[in-house]
A and B are shown apart, each in its own frame.
Chain A
Amino acid sequence: MTYLTGLDLLTKKGLLDSSRLERSKTHQIIRELGGSSQRDLASNILAFCRVLRTMIPGVTTGRVMDACQSLLHVDISNRWDIWAALKPNLVSSKDDGDVFDMLFQMFFDPVDSEDDLIWLKNQKEYEAELLGDDFEIPEAVRERISEMLSQAWDSNKTREQSPEKESPTPSYSPNERLTYKDFGEFNGLEVREMRRVIALLAPKLASVMSRRMKTSTKGKDIDMRRTFRSNLRYGGEIVSIKRRRRKTKKLRIALLCDVSGSMDLYSRFLIQFMYAMGNEMTGVDSWVFSTRLTNITKTLRNHPFEEAIKVAAREVNDWSGGTAIGSCLWEFANGAGKRKVSSQTVIIIVSDGWDRGNVKALEESMKTLKRRSLKIVWLNPLLGSPSYQPLALGIKTVLPYIDYFLPAHNLDSLLRLSKTLQEIHSLL
């Protein structure tokens, strides 16, 4: 089966022009990750999966094997069938599906044979059926793919050059002086010390948050199973009743951190805090915003800290830029927040409230979020200054909707945050 030779096909067509990535570089990457061209179908599928793995999570060996199994049940002379058989095996979300489609197109690029035209037609029909006539792969997805391709390329290279260094196991020893020092006044050495402490603080917090309530003798529900078991000895008379109590629900956290210019001094610590929280607890989702909102949950989870920051900074193209809290929160409340925020979610917004954006949108979004979430916590680094008055228009607007308005300028304030979260957790 020499029908599908990914690299050959890739070189023939100009479809890559739409991508920011140069054709030659894609060429190189696919060769690097996927091996040489001119092979049979199976090797091409494996090569395809190898490239896909660098772009979306969950392309495990088991799934790849199942994907190959699936090909036995479809007509593999038809490229469209191959697409339909591979996709459900390898993707696990709608967004991943978009990436899959794009890569599939790039990898098994149609040439001008008759079969390919049929495939293309089927594909077009399918797309039209799926998404209406005005279907087009969104620019964002294209960008994401080329971005990820180049990242995969870069990390592949660096991995070869320098094996990862083992970091020494840190211990928890918060320095009294550092605990109350404003984040804005740290020198280089202290920054590193502080990061270490914050990284240790988060797991402590996480363990408190996930602790479940003990079984109680005063529970509401009767535990029939245990009651019955323990009363068997009395010949079926119920002498003592065993009770149980519902497990406490898990708290979910949505972290939104302002990374605009005015927050620079603080955001580096708060991102560290987000990073540590996200990696210690389940149910934490993180976003950063300045003029646009970016979800960095996965970035934080999949990279070591230093790298995560670099990748995040690349994803967020307006890091240290201006602020538009209003439109960002609006985007959150009406987009990601719909799915991610429930009555078990605490929303933590970290911002100084300097807004030059849309106040109306800000108020509307806060209203929506307030209704949908458990509590809203607003962390403001400026609150650390004794003379601070919440006068900025942004802050004034949101104050009525906030449950907790807390400082976030030093380690002590982060400790206070953890107490607050415990308090909220006990409400569940």
Chain B
Amino acid sequence: MKAPVATSIDSLQESLAEQLYFSDKAMSTTIYLAQRLKKPLFLEGEAGVGKTEVAKVMAKILDTRLIRLQCYEGLDANHALYEWNYAKQMLRIKLEEGQHNRQEVERSIFSEDYLIKRPLLEAISYGSGNPPVLLIDEIDRADEEFEAFLLEVLSDFQVTIPEIGTITAVEPPFVVLTSNRTREVHDALKRRCLYMWISYPAFDREYRIVTAKVAGINIRLAEQICNFMKAVRDLDFYKKPGIAETLDWATALMALHCDELDKEIVQETLGCIFKYNEDLLLMQGDHLDDVLDRIGLINEERSAGL
């Protein structure tokens, strides 16, 4: 049985670990506080460090639905909040033709039955049950106007639909906002939230993640992979690989029945780690030997090659 609300920071951390999310104490504290203070959580960090994952895992822990709003340029209230179901409304009008007076039909077609709920409204009017987890993903991609609109929704957790009235959440949902910092999100929105920066994982944390998530991986390979990633992130790339890339790579290596890293297999699978051609070229140059050297693999390779 899952406890809907974590009662202490430690128990939350345990629940997170049960769901294979390995947080450190500071992260757990922040998530715990977000839950207790009923404040949105604002997560920033490079791509692929597990920001979105927090929301997914919290939905499982809180035993509730995950409602996701993916932000993009041009996202507006119609797509985020609600839209009327025009086809259904039209049909109703046709059916009622000549039977009722117009006002009555008009009143009935602008009721909740004819409303298409978009993520924000859905998260506020969830009906009975546990409040959902609302994930507002990549807020930095949305326009600034949308931020302002969001600020309004997140401060009161209520929405006004002119034809119906104001809908207020019985209990505010657990809100997680993520940003990749492609642009700065306005301070006003951040101030409304608990802020947390998620950095690339240290070796230990990444090792735990890899061994937990990649079934059957041997310890030696997992260690090598994590060391390799750490060394890669110390170098300067346009897009440094995140945990997602680590897991992709580990899975790929497993599929290739690889028990140990060597230069050849690394070269063949670099595509799992780097998503930009510039980075790939950079890595295939001097960097590869440098990294392999740093994690103590180049010497074995040389002696094997000679």
A and B associate in one complex: yes
* CB interface residues, A 221-273, toward B, < 8 Å: 224-225, 228, 232-233, 235-236, 246, 249-250, 252
In the complex, per-residue mask of A67-86: 1 if CB is within 8 Å of any chain B CB, else 0: 00110011000001100110
- A-B contacts at CB below 8 angstroms, number: 112
Q: Does B126 contact A (CB under 8 A)?
A: no
Q: How far is the CB of B49 from chain A (nearest CB, A)?
A: 12
Q: Does B251 contact A (CB under 8 A)?
A: no
Which of B28-36, B168-176, B295-303 lies on the face that meets chain A?
Answer: B28-36
Given A57-B187, A235-B93, the answer on whether A339 and B33 have CB atoms closer than 8 Å is no
Across the interface, do B191 and A84 meet the contact criterion of CB distance under 8 Å? no
Across the interface, do A129 and B93 meet the contact criterion of CB distance under 8 Å? no
Among A84, A282, A340, the one with the most B-chain Cβ atoms within 10 Å of its Cβ is A84
Partner of B202, one of A89, A93, A130, A338: A130
Given A126-B24, A126-B25, A282-B144, the answer on whether A60 and B106 have CB atoms closer than 8 Å is no
A57, B37: Cα distance in complex, Å: 22
Across the interface, do A235 and B97 meet the contact criterion of CB distance under 8 Å? yes
Across the interface, do B191 and A74 meet the contact criterion of CB distance under 8 Å? no
Across the interface, do B24 and A129 meet the contact criterion of CB distance under 8 Å? yes
Partner of A84, one of B25, B86, B238: B25
Q: Does A391 contact B (CB under 8 A)?
A: no
Q: How far is the CB of B75 from chain A (nearest CB, A)?
A: 12
Chain B residues, CB < 8 A from A339: 181-184
Which of B57-65, B193-201, B253-261, B280-288 lies on the face that meets chain A?
Answer: B193-201
Across the interface, do A70 and B33 meet the contact criterion of CB distance under 8 Å? yes
Among B29, B93, B102, the one with the most A-chain Cβ atoms within 10 Å of its Cβ is B29
Given A132-B230, A339-B182, the answer on whether A66 and B29 have CB atoms closer than 8 Å is no
* CB interface residues, A 88-117, toward B, < 8 Å: 88-89, 91-94, 97
Across the interface, do A92 and B187 meet the contact criterion of CB distance under 8 Å? yes
Q: How far is the CB of B111 from chain A (nearest CB, A)?
A: 15
Chain B residues, CB < 8 A from A413: none
Across the interface, do B37 and A92 meet the contact criterion of CB distance under 8 Å? no
Q: Does A131 contact B (CB under 8 A)?
A: yes
Across the interface, do B29 and A129 meet the contact criterion of CB distance under 8 Å? no
Across the interface, do A73 and B33 meet the contact criterion of CB distance under 8 Å? yes
Smallest CB gap from A343: residue in B:
B73
Across the interface, do A58 and B191 meet the contact criterion of CB distance under 8 Å? yes
Across the interface, do B26 and A84 meet the contact criterion of CB distance under 8 Å? yes
A283, B34: Cα distance in complex, Å: 30
Partner of B190, one of A66, A73, A92, A129: A92
Q: How far is the CB of B179 from chain A (nearest CB, A)?
A: 10
Chain A contact-residue range equals 35 or more
Chain B residues, CB < 8 A from A81: 9, 29
Chain A residues, CB < 8 A from B202: 128-132
Across the interface, do A88 and B194 meet the contact criterion of CB distance under 8 Å? yes
Smallest CB gap from A224: residue in B:
B86
Partner of B199, one of A73, A130, A252: A130
Q: Does A43 contact B (CB under 8 A)?
A: no
Partner of B74, one of A69, A84, A131, A246: A246
Chain A residues, CB < 8 A from B84: 224-225, 228
Across the interface, do B230 and A62 meet the contact criterion of CB distance under 8 Å? no
Q: How far is the CB of B221 from chain A (nearest CB, A)?
A: 21
Q: Does A23 contact B (CB under 8 A)?
A: no
Q: Does B143 contact A (CB under 8 A)?
A: yes
Q: How far is the CB of B207 from chain A (nearest CB, A)?
A: 12
A81, B25: Cα distance in complex, Å: 9
Q: Does A279 contact B (CB under 8 A)?
A: no
Across the interface, do A88 and B182 meet the contact criterion of CB distance under 8 Å? no
Across the interface, do A342 and B183 meet the contact criterion of CB distance under 8 Å? yes
Partner of A66, one of B9, B37, B83: B37
Across the interface, do B197 and A97 meet the contact criterion of CB distance under 8 Å? yes
Chain B residues, CB < 8 A from A252: 183
Q: Does A87 contact B (CB under 8 A)?
A: yes
Given A66-B39, A129-B205, A130-B202, the answer on whether A58 and B181 have CB atoms closer than 8 Å is no
In the complex, per-residue mask of B220-256: 1 if CB is within 8 Å of any chain A CB, else 0: 0000000000100000101000000000000000000
Q: Does A63 contact B (CB under 8 A)?
A: yes
Q: Does B211 contact A (CB under 8 A)?
A: no
In the complex, per-residue mask of A131-158: 1 if CB is within 8 Å of any chain B CB, else 0: 1100000000000000000000000000
Q: Does B90 contact A (CB under 8 A)?
A: yes
Chain A residues, CB < 8 A from B199: 130-131
* CB interface residues, B 124-155, toward A, < 8 Å: 143-144
Q: How far is the CB of B214 from chain A (nearest CB, A)?
A: 21
Q: Does A37 contact B (CB under 8 A)?
A: no
9 interchain pairs (CB within 8 A)?
A57-B187, A73-B37, A88-B30, A88-B194, A91-B195, A97-B195, A126-B25, A132-B203, A339-B181
Supplied contacts A129-B24, A232-B102, A339-B182, 14 more A-B pairs, CB within 8 Å: A74-B29, A88-B33, A89-B195, A92-B187, A92-B190, A93-B184, A126-B26, A129-B202, A130-B199, A130-B202, A228-B84, A228-B89, A235-B97, A338-B238
Residues of B within 8 A of A (CB): 9, 24-26, 29-30, 32-34, 36-37, 39, 42, 44, 73-74, 78, 83-84, 86, 89-90, 93-94, 97, 102, 106, 143-144, 181-184, 187, 190-191, 194-197, 199, 202-205, 230, 236, 238
Nearest 8 A/B pairs, CB to CB = A236-B93, A92-B190, A84-B29, A88-B194, A88-B30, A94-B197, A129-B202, A84-B26
Residues of A within 8 A of B (CB): 57-58, 60, 62-63, 66, 69-70, 73-74, 80-81, 84-85, 87-89, 91-94, 97, 122, 126, 128-132, 224-225, 228, 232-233, 235-236, 246, 249-250, 252, 282-283, 334, 338-340, 342
